[in-house]
Each structure stands twice: as structure tokens, then as C-alpha cells.
Chains A and B, each alone.
Chain A
Amino acid sequence: MNRPRLADVLRETATGATPQTVAARLGLDPGLVEAMVDHAQRVGLVWTPTCTSCTASLPTCAGCPLSRG
């Protein structure tokens, strides 16, 4: 396994690659890449297009494509 560099992982993730593809491109373990992306998300460097603060039971959120129903 190659030495994992967070910057490389984030650069590949920014191209739209999923952890599996990033792992294949960089010669890393997919689980390790998932952990790296997850860590970056926790410290605010990465975000995912999901809304975690609302609920479809609210009228203002019911029509939202990202709310959790």
C-alpha cells in the first residue's frame, strides 16, 4: 500500500470520485480512504450533499429534495 496523503485523497475526491475509485487510483485501501474522507468531513474540510438539520415532517422541509422523510 502506498503512503496515504490526505491532500491527494481530497484532490481525487474533489473530482467526484467515490472512495473506491480514489483507493484504486492511489493504491490505497478503500476503508482507509473512507476513514480519511470521514475525518476531513468531521473537521469541516469536506461536505456531502445531504441535509442533517431538517425533517420532512416540517411543512417547510417536506418539499425539499434533501430532507429526510
Chain B
Amino acid sequence: MKFSWGEDLPVVARMTAKIRRDDPAEPAPDRDVVVALVGNPNSGKSTLFNCLTGAHQVVVNAPGTTVEVAAQAWKDTAVQLLDLPGAYSLVAHSPGEELTTHAVTGDDAADLVIVVVDATALSRSLYLAGQVGLTGTPVVVAVTMSDIAAGRGVTIDTEALAHLLGVDVVEVDPRTGAGVGQLAAAVSDALVAPRHLHLDAAPAADAAVHEHPLAQVDPRFADAEALFAWVADVQTQVASTPPVRPSRSDRVDGWLMRPWVGVPVFLLVLAAVFQLVTVVAAPAMDAVRWIVADWAGAWVTRGLDAAGAPAWVVGFVTDGLLVGVATVASFVPLIAVVFLAVGALEDSGYLSRASFVADRAMRHLGLDGRAVLPVVVGFGCNLSALASLRTLPSARQRALTALLLPFTSCTARLVVYLMLATVFFPSYAGLVVLAMYVLSAVLVVTVGFVLRHTGFRDLRHEPLVMALPAYQRPRLGALASSATSRTATLVTAAGKVIIVTLALMWLAMAIPVTGGHHFGDVPTADSVHGRATEAIAAVFGPAGFADGGAASALVTGIVAKEVVAGSLAQTYGSDDEPWTDGLRATFERTSGGHGAAAGLAFCVFVLVYTPCLATVAELGRQVGWRAATGSVVASLALAWTLAVIVFQVGARL
């Protein structure tokens, strides 16, 4: 039979209690006994269970899904055998491990535990065995995978192991049934005369370990030290292990972990990614936009005209809705290429190295190393980064990191950079995008440094270590699947906001305020939109883009940054020329002939100014509305100042 992980009560407690309640008065020994199989994942535990019970079940133990434990009578006996989820430790880290831990340590713990020791992973198995032994539960050890270990040059002396552990140790091969009879005999003996793991030989931790800063953080530090010393001691005496050499991954890291090598290499990798994106995605984006806005637009216009639709309806559909749809559709190749490239970096383990470098920077700022996680997440989406702040233990750390996150350049802003960079810097658009990311990182570090030495002087440095995975070859199938689902999710979510916002913008541009024009047939300057953005546009004069269209795009960008590009396309597109030409011509005019400098200043403003409304709302919830308002005002002022500096310097070069 199978049991599923209950809502709030571990199933093993119910199960073992039920078995005992079946005959509470005079429980027969052969009906009352519960034996549990405990071992690392993939140690051969379930195969052993099938062999011992005659079952043919497959146990699925997927993280985050239902955890299952199988229970069946041991062949030809009434002993109930439990196949518990694989566990690496009794310091549980997943529902499956919680279940296993409870089965060993709970009030209704199993009567005896068979610890399945994987000969190919002896250390990890012994560590788990030691933890089981510390609970005081009687133990029998079953050693599996001996043939595979032997193939790797590792042999285990089971007699010596039994002597050291003080319990029966049986070598089994569940696939062939070898050793199963001896295991049954050992279990039978242990049920009559329970034997416990000998941990007395575990060397005590050095006195100095209690003084270590990490020991101050966690009192179990010294206990763990003693347990690992015991594992090493046992392993040395019972197993022959081949010498250890640094892997290729480590030799690569030997170079990449050096700041003066790792940082330039990381920048080169990013530059290559962005260049790839602009070279591959930009033509595809133009093609998609032409198909949706121009080709399909012409068909829709002809159809509506033929149906006798009023001019404003034709304008709303083609210049309002279709421009929005074209903007959303043009994001698809861009986002897909970005996700493929970033996914390959993450899957290979390289992105973790970048996080490691950032982790060091965070520590120099006096931030908790864990702050790097929300910051990295912020480069995807500021909102989810704010949500991930719960990983930080201190409220002050959370507040400081929350104030830095709006300066991380999210994916929505990347779309704006790429579009503007291909318009104003077609030959080296990738480098311009990279410069935006470098500026973003510089702002995070600079603002963090300033805040740390002004309003956040009281933060304490907490000892914490970041561990890196080994490099691996990216899995192409998984990458393609991930990029497809991410692109679909992001484009669907952003698409709704973009289309609705651009439709509303069209309405604002269609309603006349002056000049006696008709609805839907009005020059932008005489529309509600034109009058509203006129005053705002003047503010951007020193930055070189004092134009209502640019100002309008920035205002709509407060709703969501993805809208900025669509808003520019809607404002500067016309029947005579594509929006890119219109934008370039406008910026040339407003900047006095320095359109590229104005375009760069516009990108800088987009990077630094107010994040989207959803992020501001979450920021207010996390740090309070006073601090959030201060953050928004400060980011607007900083964005304007930097945009002006970039334009004024750029125009003079």
C-alpha cells in the first residue's frame, strides 16, 4: 500500500500508531514491528524494498510534489517494512526528508532502521547513518552498489565496518537478491536483541571550534564537527579511496575567480550576449513589426474601409491596437534570444561565478552575502526581487537591499535599450546595452555604499559562505523548453498591459483640445496627449530630448517599462516613415544635431528613473511609504541629473 504526505500530520506517525492499535492489549511481536529503510536518494533503497517485499512499485519522490512512502509486509513475515523517501540528512530540507526524519525521531518512530549505505557515496551515507545512530534507534546496515564502487577503485571492508559501527553490516545486491537472506537474519537478530551504532569513537571537536565565529551563529557547529570527524575516521579504516585531483572545472575557476580576470571575462561574456541579441533579434523584430503593423495593418485598413467603418475606428484599430500588438509580437524574438543566452550561462554554472564576484562586492559594502540573490533576481524583475528579500534575516538588511533594487536593470528596460541602441548606434548596439548594465551595477554599489555609511551604519556583518556548483554542459532541450515557456509567460503578461496602455494613449492623442479638429483626426500637438506632455517635455531640454512623444513614453513607462518602446513606436510612426526614422529625426532636432547623445541620455533616464507601479507599491509595503516616496523622488532627480550629464558630455565629444 502507499500513503501520501498528509496536510499537517506525518503519515508515518499515523501508520505506525495504526499498526499498534490493531491489537493494543497483547500485541504479537510479529505484527507490531515496523522496520524502516533509510538511505540517500538513488542508493538502491526502493529496489531493496521491492526485493524484500516482492512488490513491484515505483516510488516517486519529486521535490515540491506529493511525497510518498511505501509500506508492505516483509516477505513471509508480518513485519511492516517502510520505504522512506531518500534523504541526505536528518536536518530536513524537503518534505521527503521531514517524513524520513519523523520516521526515525518521532514519537511513533520505527522499531528498527535499515540504513542503506551506498558504497559509491560512503561519506554521505555514513553521515546519515551517524545521525540515525545519534537518535538511539536500533540499526542494521545494508551496503549497496559495491560492484559499481569496485569499478571505481573503491573497496569496503564490511567486517571492519561492522566492528567499528557495532551493528550488523550486510553487503546486498537487491537486483540479484544476493545478501538478502543474510540481511533478513540480521534484522531478525536485531529485533530480538537491538544493537545501536557505536558513536563513542567519534573524536571530540577541538576546543577552538567553539570559538569560531560560525559556532557562535549555530550551536550545532561543534556537534557536526565531531560527527564528520567520526565519518572520516570510519571511512579511513574501512575503505580504500583513490587520490583526489582538482577537476577541470576547478582549474578554470582558478583563473575566473581572480577579480582582475573574472570581472573582464564576465563583461566580455555579457558584451557577446548583447551583441548576439542585437545581431540575431533586431532583424527578426523589424520583420515581425512589419508583418503585424504594416502588412496586416494594410489589410485591416482595407477591410474596415470596405465595411464603411468611420475614420476614427480605422485609426483606433490600426494606430492603437495593432501598434500595441506589433510591439508585443516584436518582443518575442528578442526575449527568446535573451532567455536562451542567459539560460545557457545559468545552466553551465557560469552565472553562479558572476554571483560569487557580486557577493564579494556586497561584503565590501557591508551587506549580507545573501543580498546578492535579490540583486541578481532584480536584473530579471524588480518586483520578484523585492519578493525574494524574505531570504534576508534582518529587517535592516531587507530595507537597505530594497532601496538598491530599483537600480538593477530589469528585462523590461533591456527591451528599451535594445530598441534605442539599434536606432542610434546600429554598429555597436551591444556595447551600448552592456554600458547600461555596467552603469546599473555601478549605481547599486555606489548607492549601497552611501546608504551603508549614512542611514545604515548599524548593520552587522554576518559570517556566511557561498558555495559554487561545478561547471556542466548546458542541456539544449531543457534550455529551449525553458526559453519558450518564459517567453510565453512574459509576453502574455506584459502584452495585456502594453496593448491597453497604448489603446488609452491613442485615445488621448485622438481627443482635440485646440484647433477645432475632429475626434481621431487631430495633430498630436493639439490633442489632450500633446498638451499634457508639453509641460513635462520642457524639463528634458538639458538632456536633449524635450519632445512630447519622449515625455509621454516615460510617463507611460511608470505603468510598466515595456510600454516605453511601444509608446515611442506609436508616437513617432506615420504612414510616410517608420517610427525609428521619426524618432531619430525628432531627437536630432531637439538636441541640436546630437541625436545619438540624446538617445543615450534617454536610455540612462529609463535605467534610473521610477520603477514600475507594481514595484513602487511593493517597495512601499516593504520599507514604508515615506521611504518609498523618498526613493522615487531621489531616483527621478538622479535620473535627470545623469541624463543631463550624459547628453552634455556626449554632445561635446
> Smallest CB-CB separation from A68: which chain B residue?
B482
Residues of B within 8 A of A65 (CB): 342, 345-346, 351, 376-377, 379-380
Assess whether A32 is in contact with B489, with CB atoms less than 8 Å apart. Answer: no
Give 1 or 0 for each of B534-545: 1 = CB within 8 Å of chain A CB: 000000000000
Give 1 or 0 for each of B228-244: 1 = CB within 8 Å of chain A CB: 11011001100001001
Assess whether A67 is in contact with B232, with CB atoms less than 8 Å apart. Answer: no
CA distance A24 to B221 in the complex (A): 23
Assess whether A60 is in contact with B466, with CB atoms less than 8 Å apart. Answer: no
Assess whether A40 is in contact with B465, with CB atoms less than 8 Å apart. Answer: yes
Residues of A within 8 A of B245 (CB): 24
Give 1 or 0 for each of A36-58: 1 = CB within 8 Å of chain B CB: 11111111111111110110111
Residues of A within 8 A of B351 (CB): 49, 65-66
Assess whether A63 is in contact with B490, with CB atoms less than 8 Å apart. Answer: yes
Assess whether B232 is in contact with A10, with CB atoms less than 8 Å apart. Answer: no
CA distance A46 to B487 in the complex (A): 32
Assess whether B380 is in contact with A49, with CB atoms less than 8 Å apart. Answer: no
Contact of B225 among A5, A31, A44, A67 (CB under 8 A): A5
Minimum C-beta distance from A35 to chain B (A):
5
CA distance A6 to B411 in the complex (A): 40
Residues of B within 8 A of A57 (CB): 485, 489
A3, A32, A59, A63 — which one has the most chain B CB atoms within 10 A of its CB?
Answer: A63
* Complex interface residues of chain B between 87 and 124 (CB less than 8 A to chain A): 88-89, 91, 93, 121-124
Minimum C-beta distance from B375 to chain A (A):
11
| Interface size counted on chain A using CB atoms at 8 A | 57
Residues of A within 8 A of B355 (CB): 49
Contact of A43 among B220, B385, B410 (CB under 8 A): B220
> Smallest CB-CB separation from A14: which chain B residue?
B465
Residues of A within 8 A of B346 (CB): 65-66
**Is chain B's binding surface mostly helix, strand, loop or mixed?**
helix
* Complex interface residues of chain A between 17 and 43 (CB less than 8 A to chain B): 17-18, 20-21, 23-24, 27-32, 34-43
Which of B53-61, B210-218, B547-555, B632-640 touches A?
B210-218
Assess whether A66 is in contact with B373, with CB atoms less than 8 Å apart. Answer: yes
> Smallest CB-CB separation from A60: which chain B residue?
B384
Assess whether A43 is in contact with B253, with CB atoms less than 8 Å apart. Answer: no
Minimum C-beta distance from B278 to chain A (A):
18
| B464 located at the interface, meaning its Cβ lies under 8 Å from any Cβ of chain A in the complex | yes
> Smallest CB-CB separation from B214: which chain A residue?
A45
CA distance A55 to B249 in the complex (A): 28
Assess whether B88 is in contact with A35, with CB atoms less than 8 Å apart. Answer: yes
CA distance A41 to B89 in the complex (A): 11
Assess whether A64 is in contact with B121, with CB atoms less than 8 Å apart. Answer: no
Assess whether B244 is in contact with A47, with CB atoms less than 8 Å apart. Answer: no
Assess whether B468 is in contact with A60, with CB atoms less than 8 Å apart. Answer: no
Assess whether B384 is in contact with A54, with CB atoms less than 8 Å apart. Answer: yes
Assess whether A66 is in contact with B218, with CB atoms less than 8 Å apart. Answer: no
CA distance A2 to B380 in the complex (A): 44
Assess whether A39 is in contact with B89, with CB atoms less than 8 Å apart. Answer: yes
CA distance A27 to B235 in the complex (A): 13
Assess whether A20 is in contact with B485, with CB atoms less than 8 Å apart. Answer: no
CA distance A45 to B462 in the complex (A): 10
Minimum C-beta distance from A33 to chain B (A):
8
Assess whether A64 is in contact with B229, with CB atoms less than 8 Å apart. Answer: no
> Smallest CB-CB separation from B253: which chain A residue?
A16
Assess whether B218 is in contact with A45, with CB atoms less than 8 Å apart. Answer: yes
Interface residues on B, range: 35 or more
With A13-B467, A14-B465, A54-B388 as contacts: A36 and B228 at CB distance below 8 Å? yes
CA distance A59 to B373 in the complex (A): 18
With A17-B250, A21-B253 as contacts: A49 and B352 at CB distance below 8 Å? yes
Minimum C-beta distance from B98 to chain A (A):
12
Assess whether A23 is in contact with B486, with CB atoms less than 8 Å apart. Answer: no
With A5-B206, A31-B121, A49-B373 as contacts: A24 and B246 at CB distance below 8 Å? yes
Assess whether A5 is in contact with B209, with CB atoms less than 8 Å apart. Answer: yes
Assess whether B379 is in contact with A46, with CB atoms less than 8 Å apart. Answer: no
Contact of B217 among A15, A17, A45 (CB under 8 A): A45
Assess whether A18 is in contact with B466, with CB atoms less than 8 Å apart. Answer: no
Assess whether A7 is in contact with B214, with CB atoms less than 8 Å apart. Answer: yes
Assess whether B232 is in contact with A3, with CB atoms less than 8 Å apart. Answer: yes
| B584 located at the interface, meaning its Cβ lies under 8 Å from any Cβ of chain A in the complex | no
Assess whether A51 is in contact with B377, with CB atoms less than 8 Å apart. Answer: yes
Assess whether A31 is in contact with B124, with CB atoms less than 8 Å apart. Answer: yes
CA distance A63 to B464 in the complex (A): 27
Contact of B468 among A16, A36, A51, A53 (CB under 8 A): A16
Assess whether B232 is in contact with A42, with CB atoms less than 8 Å apart. Answer: no
With A28-B232, A45-B465, A69-B485 as contacts: A23 and B93 at CB distance below 8 Å? no
| B127 located at the interface, meaning its Cβ lies under 8 Å from any Cβ of chain A in the complex | yes
Assess whether B232 is in contact with A49, with CB atoms less than 8 Å apart. Answer: no
Residues of B within 8 A of A69 (CB): 339, 343, 481-483, 485-486
Minimum C-beta distance from A42 to chain B (A):
4
| B463 located at the interface, meaning its Cβ lies under 8 Å from any Cβ of chain A in the complex | yes
> Smallest CB-CB separation from A1: which chain B residue?
B236
Minimum C-beta distance from B157 to chain A (A):
15
CA distance A24 to B373 in the complex (A): 29
| B592 located at the interface, meaning its Cβ lies under 8 Å from any Cβ of chain A in the complex | no
Minimum C-beta distance from A57 to chain B (A):
6
> Smallest CB-CB separation from A25: which chain B residue?
B246
| B381 located at the interface, meaning its Cβ lies under 8 Å from any Cβ of chain A in the complex | yes
* Complex interface residues of chain B between 427 and 482 (CB less than 8 A to chain A): 463-470, 481-482
Contact of B214 among A4, A10, A35 (CB under 8 A): A10
Minimum C-beta distance from A27 to chain B (A):
8
> Smallest CB-CB separation from B345: which chain A residue?
A65
| B290 located at the interface, meaning its Cβ lies under 8 Å from any Cβ of chain A in the complex | no
Residues of B within 8 A of A62 (CB): 380-381, 485-487, 489-490, 493
Residues of A within 8 A of B335 (CB): 63
Assess whether B257 is in contact with A15, with CB atoms less than 8 Å apart. Answer: yes
Q: Which 3 interchain pairs have the tightest Cβ spacing?
A: A64-B380, A59-B493, A69-B482
Q: Can you list 30 pairs linking A and B with CB atoms under 8 Å apart?
A: A4-B231, A6-B209, A7-B209, A7-B212, A16-B468, A17-B253, A17-B468, A20-B244, A20-B250, A21-B247, A21-B250, A23-B244, A27-B244, A32-B124, A32-B228, A38-B89, A39-B127, A45-B218, A47-B464, A48-B467, A49-B352, A49-B376, A53-B390, A59-B489, A59-B490, A62-B493, A63-B411, A64-B381, A65-B342, A65-B380
Further pairs besides A46-B465, A56-B486, A62-B381: 14, Cβ < 8 Å = A4-B228, A6-B221, A20-B247, A24-B246, A32-B235, A38-B89, A39-B127, A45-B214, A48-B469, A49-B468, A63-B486, A65-B346, A65-B379, A66-B351
